[in-house]
Structure 1
C-alpha cells in the first residue's frame, strides 16, 4: 500500500525520507559522511549521505548499495568507508 501512497502523494509530508536515522558520522576532507539506517526486512542495507557546504549552500549526496548485514557496527564501518571512497574518487563532482 505504501507504493500507492507515494505514487499518488499520500503519506508523510516531511521533506526527509522516512528512516533516515544516522547511525554514525565522520568528517573527511571537508565532507560530512553519515551512515544511515535503512531496513531491508530483518537486515540493514548499506546506505549513507555525504554533505558539504558549497558556496553557502548545503549539498547532500545520498548513496545506497546492495550490501546487507545484520550488525549495526559493521554497517556503520562499511558505510563510512564507502563514503570516503566516493569522496576520494569524485570529490565535489558528486553534487553536479
Structure 2
C-alpha cells in the first residue's frame, strides 16, 4: 500500500518533492538557468529551470532528466550544463 501512496502523492517522504530548492543560478545569453536537483531513490536527479523575461513577463521552462548522481554537486553541474544546452539548441523556442 505504501507504494501506491507514494505513487499518488500520499507518502510522507521528502524524496522527489515538487518544491525543489535552487542550488545554483547562472546567466547565459540573456537566460537564467537554475539548477534544482532533487533526491530520488537515494540519489540526486538532474532537474532545472530555464527562464527569461519576454515582453515584461517571465517565461519558464522546467526540465527533468533521467541522470542521477550520488553527490549534489555533480547533479547541480550537470543540471546547469543541460540548461545551457537547451538554450543553445532552442533559445526562445523553449517557451513557444
TM-score tier, shorter chain, comes to 0.7 to 0.9
Structure 1 residues 4 and 27, CA, compared in 2 at 3 Å: closer, same or farther? closer
Task: Give the Cα–Cα distance (whole angstroms) in 1 for the partners of residues 39 and 19 of structure 2.
Answer: 8
Question: Which SS does the other structure have where 2:18 is aligned?
Answer: coil
1:39 to 2:39 alignment: yes
Gaps of 5+ in 2: 11-16
Gaps of 5+ in 1: 6-16
TM-score w.r.t. structure 1 length? 0.82
Runs of at least 4 residues off by over 6 Å: none
TM-score w.r.t. structure 2 length? 0.82
The Cα of 1:27 is off from its aligned counterpart by 0.5
Matched residue count: 85
Please state which structure has a larger fraction of its residues in strand. 1
Task: Give the Cα–Cα distance (whole angstroms) in 1 for the partners of residues 60 and 71 of structure 2.
Answer: 26
Q: What per-residue deviation string (whole Å, max 9, x for no partner) do you get for residues 38-94 of structure 1?
A: 211210110000010001000000000000001111111111011000000000000
- C-alpha root-mean-square deviation of aligned residues, in Å? 1.5
